[in-house]
Chain A
Amino acid sequence: MPSARSFIDPFGAVRISRRLARSTAAATGDAAIAGLAAVVETELAARAVRALVECPLGDVAAHAAVRSGLVERVAGEILDAGAVERIADRALATPLPQHVADRLLADGVAEQIAERVLSGPELDRLVARVLEDPAMARVVAQVLDSRLLDESVARVLASEELWRVVEEIARSPAVTSAISQQGAGFADQVAGEVGVSSRRADAWLERAAHRMLHRPPAAATPTGGP
Chain B
Amino acid sequence: MTFAAPRAPVHAQVAPAAPVEAPAAGYVGLVTRALAFAVDAAIINVVAVLSTAAVGLALSVLSLPDDLTDVLVVLGGGCYVLWSVGYFVGFWSTTGQTPGGRVFRFRVCTAALGPLRLHRAVLRFAALMLAALPLFAGLLPILVDARRRGLHDMLAGTVVVDAGGDREPVSARAP
Which residues of the other chain, B, contact A201 by a CB distance below 8 angstroms?
Answer: 29, 31-32
A70 on the B face (CB < 8 A): no
Known interface pairs A194-B104, A202-B30; A218-B35 also in contact (CB < 8 Å): no
Contact B29 A199 (CB under 8 A): yes
B42 on the A face (CB < 8 A): no
Contact A202 B32 (CB under 8 A): yes
Closest B residue, CB atoms, query A221? B26
Contact A218 B27 (CB under 8 A): no
Contact B32 A195 (CB under 8 A): yes
A222 on the B face (CB < 8 A): yes
B49 on the A face (CB < 8 A): no
8 Å CB contact of B31 from A202, A220, A222, A224: A202
A65 on the B face (CB < 8 A): no
CA distance in complex: A222, B10 (Å) = 11
B 117-175 contacts with A by CB, 8 A: 140, 143-148, 159, 161, 164, 170, 173-175
CA distance in complex: A199, B163 (Å) = 13
Known interface pairs A220-B26, A221-B26, A226-B12; A198-B35 also in contact (CB < 8 Å): yes
A219 on the B face (CB < 8 A): yes
8 Å CB contact of A220 from B24, B27, B170, B173: B27
Tally of contact residues, A, Cβ under 8 A: 24
Contact A198 B32 (CB under 8 A): yes
CA distance in complex: A156, B17 (Å) = 69
Contact A222 B30 (CB under 8 A): no
B56 on the A face (CB < 8 A): no
Known interface pairs A218-B5, A222-B26, A222-B27; A198-B104 also in contact (CB < 8 Å): yes
Contact A223 B146 (CB under 8 A): no
13 CB contacts below 8 A, A to B, read A191-B103, A195-B164, A202-B28, A202-B30, A202-B148, A205-B31, A210-B143, A210-B144, A213-B144, A218-B145, A221-B25, A226-B12, A226-B175
Residue numbers of A with Cβ under 8 A of B are 191-192, 194-195, 198-199, 201-203, 205-206, 209-210, 213, 215, 218-226
